Amino acid sequence: MLEELGASLTPTPIVESAVTSRTLERYAPDAVKSELLPQIAVGHVLITPALLEREASWDATSARVAATRTDSGFLITGEKRFVSFADLATHALTLVRTGDDEPTLLVVPIWKARGVDQISLDHVSGVPVSSLSLSEVEVPLSCVVATGARAIEATRELITAGAVSRAVQLAGLGRVVVESTVEYTSNREQFGQPVGSFQAVQHHIAEMAIAAKQVNHLAHSAAWSFSRNGYSIARAAQAKIAANEKIPSLCWTAHQCHGAVGFTQEHDLHLYTWRALAWKMDYGDSAFHKATLAGAMGL
Amino acid sequence: MRFEFTAEEIEFRRQVSAFLDEVLPDDWGGPAGLSDDQEWKLNQRLRKELVKRGWLVMSWPTEYGGADSSPMMNTIFAEEMAYRRAPGLDGFGTRMLGPTLMRFGNDEQRARHLGAIACGEVQWCQGYSEPNSGSDLASIQTRAVLVGDEFVINGAKIWTSLGHRADMMFMLVRTNPDAPRHAGISLLLVDMKSPGIEVRPIVNMANVHHFNQVTFDDVRVPKANLVGDLNDGWRVGMTVLNHERSGIEFAAGARAVLEELVKYLKKDDSPVSTAKSDPNVRLRLAELSTEIEAARLMCYDVTWRHGQGQEPSSEASMSKVTGTEIYQKTLDYGLEILGMYGGLEAGSPQSELQGRLLKLRMLSTATTIFSGTNEIQKNIIAQRGLGLPRARTR
């Protein structure tokens, strides 16, 4: 399904919802699960991850936003950046540090919540992306998902699940770009023949097809590794590294094969390129996943 | 080639740089933050300044108001302008039509148009590409029929840069549909205010309105606007196209981005400032620096050959391929360094470097396509430059 959602560039928060729900299911106390999961299932609640801060680092230990303990819960002040679909979401899943510097993963109600300001960003993804400015936002104790090392672990797992989801979406996106480039170059004639009959163009498209196939295999292999018992960090990292490096580059080659028309907004190709650039950075850029992978290799 | 500049060249570069310090707005990083209209206004203002300094047409012979400047001076000028992302140049008038009229135009056409280009008063656009004629330009179908003292034009031109700003267009039309492809084409000068011309905007993937589709419905043009001989338009229109171009603007653009990135990383208050101590980032920036310097030297080589009276064809193709590819690669890496911030559009809240790298990357997409795609350039390098055999036609 994710592959097809990627192939069609569907502007939906399904990955945001899926990775946060999965985190709740695996890490939240039963009370939180029984309150939120049924509501998510029927679409009354949408939880989006709000993990990044000013440094925009995907390293789970980088969270610095502070939460002050009160009698009934926490007061949170700080900023979380690059939050997708914050305008639609009812809650944000966010990692903060409490007074004793303990990482704490919380579900924060943000829908019309007091102290929550959204700064909407102009983002290349074409979907709504905002920064959340939190000013003494009250969060009850019942919103805590995990604390300490478990909060870091849950966050890492969420990012990994997001990375694999984006890799699968990128695989679908790449497949469609290859298909539409084949179609365009088969029909567009120059010098009395389809431009797709020129070897230079054929080699470009063959390389694109190879790249799309590689990403597809790696992404599906990584997705396959996710089960109730865990997942493969290495396969997830490989999938996202390959998707990050091969799919946007495949899109640029498609532009080269489309000539001037692909440079305009009158052709849909630019929409795929824009989205590919956004997903490339989402849930970890290549440098982040390469470091993770090297670690998983025992280095 | 010589690997140093003359004292005169060094002084001229300094003058151009000082001039740009003076005329460009404060904190100028390029036009990414400007609207199309604001950019055009700045373009017009700078063009007037270039005229005042005698630089707009300095490459032209003195008899037409130029300074007969050397190819190296022209390249230095183009490099400084591109390095600063300064608007104001007029490639269509000064580099394409001007030299074409000097060579093929009649006295009346030269008197009427060259002076106006030199003063920066008239904006020209180029009407070559058509919806079905891109790389294969000789297949154009826009028709011009001579009726009495006028040509009557019907058809469509596309990717007409500045078509919506232009006063005049120089265009290729088919005047003899029965002749072999290259032999039935003529070059005409057309007033863009002529009845029957319609200009439709085409917005590009950087959200910039630069291109247009221009349609011609019984547009009447005086016979006197024919440049060169009837049906000789292929030779007239193509001979000086890209004449003496070194491609320096791409290498200069890449250098500007690289230096901007280094400066940005050195700032301690940028959100991604820790990247500067990352060995991978340092290695990659060093690689880019090497490739950019190679691209720059290739442009100087082309320029040096021009100065020697040569017509470097394969070298010019090499420099175009190298320059455009490294320009895109440098921007790609810049966006990677910016990480999540690389996804923010020009003008977005919280954007870094004003979001201009993303806009420049989008704009740069065209560089490997226009002026002869890089695939065509590689064919030229392989066949004309290296003498490899052509594929047999099937």
Q: Are residues A159 and A135 in the same domain?
A: no
Q: Are residues B209 and B143 in the same domain?
A: yes
Provide the CATH number for the domain around residue B309: 1.20.140.10
Range of the domain at A38: 2-147
Whether residue B392 is contained in a domain is answered as no
User: pLDDT category, A107, cuts 50, 70, 90?
Assistant: very high
* Mean pLDDT value of segment B315-334: 97
* Mean pLDDT value of segment B43-48: 97
What separation in angstroms does the CA of B305 have from each of A108, B95, B184? 67, 18, 34
Q: ipTM of this model?
A: 0.95
* Mean pLDDT value of segment A239-243: 98
* Mean pLDDT value of segment B204-224: 96
Using alpha carbons, select from A177, A186, A204, A194 the residue that is nearest to residue A269. Answer: A177
Q: Are residues A123 and A8 in the same domain?
A: yes
Q: Are residues A254 and A224 in the same domain?
A: yes
Whether residue B102 is contained in a domain is answered as no
Residue B358 · residue B30 · CB < 8 Å: no
Judged against a pLDDT cut of 70, whether residue B242 lies above it is answered with no
How far apart CA B254 and CA B258 sit, in angstroms, is 6
DSSP for B122-139 reads: --EEEE--BTTBSS-GGG
Provide the number of structural domains found in chain A: 2
Whether residue B193 is contained in a domain is answered as yes
Chain A / chain B CB contacts < 8 angstroms: 118
DSSP-based three-state secondary structure for B168 = strand
Provide the CATH number for the domain around residue A93: 2.40.110.10
Determine the distance in angstroms separating the CA of A175 from the nearest CA of chain B, rounded to an integer. 21
Which residue among B79, B80, B130, B244 is the active-site one?
B244
Q: Least CB-CB distance to B136: which of A56, A190, A270?
A: A190
Whether residue B371 is contained in a domain is answered as yes
Judged against a pLDDT cut of 90, whether residue B392 lies above it is answered with no
Range of the domain at B374: 248-385
Determine whether the interchain pair A81/B272 forms a contact, defined as Cβ–Cβ distance below 8 Å. no
Whether residue B111 is contained in a domain is answered as no
Judged against a pLDDT cut of 60, whether residue A280 lies above it is answered with yes
How high is the pLDDT of residue B248?
A: 97
Average pLDDT across chain A, whole number: 96
Interface probe for B, chosen from A273, A281, A282, A288 (most Cβ of B below 10 Å), is A281
Known catalytic residue: B244? Answer: yes
Question: Judged by CB atoms within 8 Å, which residues 329-388 of B form the interface with A?
Answer: 335-336, 339-345, 347-351, 355, 358, 362, 365-366, 368-370, 373-375, 378-379
Q: Are residues A193 and A267 in the same domain?
A: yes
Using a 10 angstrom Cβ sphere, with 0-12 exposed, 13-18 middle and 19 or more buried, the burial of residue A150 is: middle
* Mean pLDDT value of segment B56-65: 96
* Mean pLDDT value of segment B280-309: 96
Q: Residue A129: closest CA among chain B residues belongs to which residue?
A: B344
Longest Cα–Cα distance of chain B, Å, equals 74
* Contact with chain A for residue B30, Cβ under 8 A: no
Residues in chain B within 8 Å Cβ distance of A130: none
**Domain limit, last residue, from B238, B265, B293:** B238
Determine the distance in angstroms separating the CA of A70 from the nearest CA of chain B, rounded to an integer. 31
Task: Indicate the DSSP class of residue B194.
Answer: S
In the block, tokens 């490739």 appear at B291
Whether residue B75 is contained in a domain is answered as yes
User: Which range has the worst mean pLDDT, A4-8, A157-161, B134-138, B325-329?
Assistant: B134-138
In the block, tokens 């009427």 appear at B112
Q: Are residues B162 and B232 in the same domain?
A: yes
* Contact with chain A for residue B111, Cβ under 8 A: no
Q: Are residues B234 and B270 in the same domain?
A: no
Q: Are residues A164 and A76 in the same domain?
A: no
In the block, tokens 């120089």 appear at B170
Judged against a pLDDT cut of 70, whether residue B393 lies above it is answered with no
How far apart CA A214 and CA B127 sit, in angstroms, is 43
User: pLDDT category, B378, cuts 50, 70, 90?
Assistant: very high
Q: Are residues A81 and A172 in the same domain?
A: no
Q: Are residues B315 and B261 in the same domain?
A: yes
Task: Indicate the DSSP class of residue B275.
Answer: G
For residue A219, which amino acid is it? A
* Mean pLDDT value of segment A105-117: 96
How high is the pLDDT of residue A47?
A: 98
How high is the pLDDT of residue A41?
A: 96
User: Which range has the worst mean pLDDT, A12-16, A272-276, B24-28, B72-76?
Assistant: B24-28
Q: Are residues A290 and A212 in the same domain?
A: yes
Helix (H) or strand (E) holding B344: none
Whether residue B320 is contained in a domain is answered as yes
Q: Least CB-CB distance to A277: which of B203, B343, B370?
A: B343
Judged against a pLDDT cut of 90, whether residue A229 lies above it is answered with no
Q: Are residues A112 and A212 in the same domain?
A: no
Whether residue B257 is contained in a domain is answered as yes
Provide the number of structural domains found in chain B: 3
How high is the pLDDT of residue A114?
A: 95
pLDDT tens, B134-184?
889 999 999 999 999 999 999 999 999 999 999 999 999 999 999 999 999
Q: Are residues A255 and A143 in the same domain?
A: no
**Domain limit, last residue, from B214, B238, B262:** B238
Q: Are residues A53 and A83 in the same domain?
A: yes
Residues in chain B within 8 Å Cβ distance of A81: 340, 350
What separation in angstroms does the CA of B214 have from each of A172, B110, B173, B218? 37, 26, 13, 13
What separation in angstroms does the CA of B308 have from each of B144, B242, B286? 40, 18, 33
Longest Cα–Cα distance of chain A, Å, equals 79
Q: Are residues B362 and B264 in the same domain?
A: yes
Judged against a pLDDT cut of 70, whether residue A3 lies above it is answered with yes
* Mean pLDDT value of segment A52-61: 96
Judged against a pLDDT cut of 70, whether residue B394 lies above it is answered with no
Q: Are residues B259 and B380 in the same domain?
A: yes
Indicate whether this model's pTM tops 0.90.
Answer: yes
Task: Indicate the DSSP class of residue B204.
Answer: B
- Name A194's bridge partners: A189
Three-state secondary structure of chain A: CHHHHHHCCCCCCHHHHHHHHHHHHHHCCHHHHHHHHHHHHCCCCCEEEECECCCCCCCHHHCCCEEEECCCEEEEEEEEEEEECCCCCCEEEEEEEECCCCEEEEEEECCCCCCEEEEEECECCCCCEEEEEEEEEEEEHHHEEEEHHHHHHHHHHHHHHHHHHHHHHHHHHHHHHHHHHHHHHHHCEECCEEHHHCHHHHHHHHHHHHHHHHHHHHHHHHHHHCECCECCHHHHHHHHHHHHHHHHHHHHHHHHHHHHHHHECCCCHHHHHHHHHHHHHCCCCHHHHHHHHHHHCCC
Structure tokens at A273: 């390129």
How high is the pLDDT of residue A222?
A: 96
- Chain centre distance of CA A180: 25
Judged against a pLDDT cut of 60, whether residue B234 lies above it is answered with yes
**Domain limit, last residue, from A120, A147, A174:** A147
- Name A16's bridge partners: none
Q: Are residues A132 and A226 in the same domain?
A: no
Provide the CATH number for the domain around residue A195: 1.20.140.10
Judged against a pLDDT cut of 80, whether residue B244 lies above it is answered with no
Q: Are residues B136 and B227 in the same domain?
A: yes
Structure tokens at B361: 């990357």
* Mean pLDDT value of segment B51-61: 97
How high is the pLDDT of residue B284?
A: 97
**Domain limit, last residue, from A121, A147, A173:** A147
Average pLDDT across chain B, whole number: 95
* Mean pLDDT value of segment B94-110: 96
How far apart CA B174 and CA B143 sit, in angstroms, is 5
CB neighbours (10 Å) of residue B247? 30
Q: Are residues A291 and A241 in the same domain?
A: yes
